[in-house]
Amino acid sequence: MKLMEGKKGIIFGVSNHRGIAYAIAQQLHEQGAEIAFTYAGEVMESRVRPLAEAMNAKIIMSCDVTKEDEIAAVFKECEKVYGKLDFVVHAVAFAGKEDLQGRFIDTSRAGWDLALGVSAYSLVSIARYAEPVMNEGGSIFALTYLGSQYVVANYNVMGVAKATLESSMRYLAADLGKKGIRVNCISAGAVKTLAAKGISGFDKMLKAAVAKSPLHRNVSLEDVGKAGLYLASDLSTGTTGQILYVDCGCHAVYASIEEMEIIANAV
């Protein structure tokens, strides 16, 4: 029997076949899970629908996570088709390009509201509507990044959004734990995705991660996908309120010898 046989859930945020959300979906699907997919408007439908159909998805719906009625509609459809859900994956984040470069101090109020609304508050909204349709022992998890705790060049307001996401995760874990629902985050290291290309200097981040990492390599999409499988499955029944780092150990190292040599030579 496959690990996720009989399990049903939904993934918010799959946008292409070269992203973390898709890597998680692949692992869940291969282990027998039934997955519902959402996409952000008509523009994204042509990208997401073929991926979802390839995994025999019964639900493929448009959902703007800043609109409560659209989130409610998604969970209403899930309840109609599946009855109860076992997992919910939050892989949604967005910030204006102008707020991912230059100085953080120049972030506009509109840019702040947009980034935190899409990237952090949406987890609260999704969890609220997921709660009544989730089985006891269910799992909700979101994607974060180390820029929530440390200054990362050109991450700016998204770092603040991820910090808010992580804090929200802990409060949600406390709220939903009474019903046996787990809430966690995966903090993935620098990994080649289409979304990452929007971060200025990302190639340098990849090289720095190799120098810093105890494993001396970049994390892969498969690495992160497997971590998602762990959190969605019954293998993680005792894990909640946690940030699972999947970054080849980068978060644990201030500076490796290799990295210090690179920095020293650059000065």
Which active-site residues does the annotation give? 145, 155
Which tokens in the block code for residue 178?
């009474």
Query: For residue 134, what are the CA distances in angstroms to 83, 85, 204, 214?
Result: 9, 5, 41, 38
Rounded-to-integer distance, Cα 90 and Cα 185, Å: 9
Burial (Cβ within 10 Å: 0-12, 13-18, ≥19) of residue 198: middle
Computed on alpha carbons and rounded to an integer, the radius of gyration of the chain in Å comes to 18
Amino acid at 151: V
Contact (Cβ atoms closer than 8 angstroms) between residue 31 and residue 37: no
Q: Is the dihedral of CA 67, 68, 73, 74 positive or negative?
A: positive
Residue 152 DSSP class: -
Residue 88's Cβ-count burial label (10 Å; 0-12, 13-18, 19+) is: buried
Concatenating the DSSP letter of every residue in 123-183 gives: HHHHHHHHGGGEEEEEEEEEEE-GGGTS--TTTTHHHHHHHHHHHHHHHHHHHHGGGT-EE
Nearest to 193 by CA among 65, 21, 45: 21
Cα torsion 197, 199, 201, 204: sign = negative
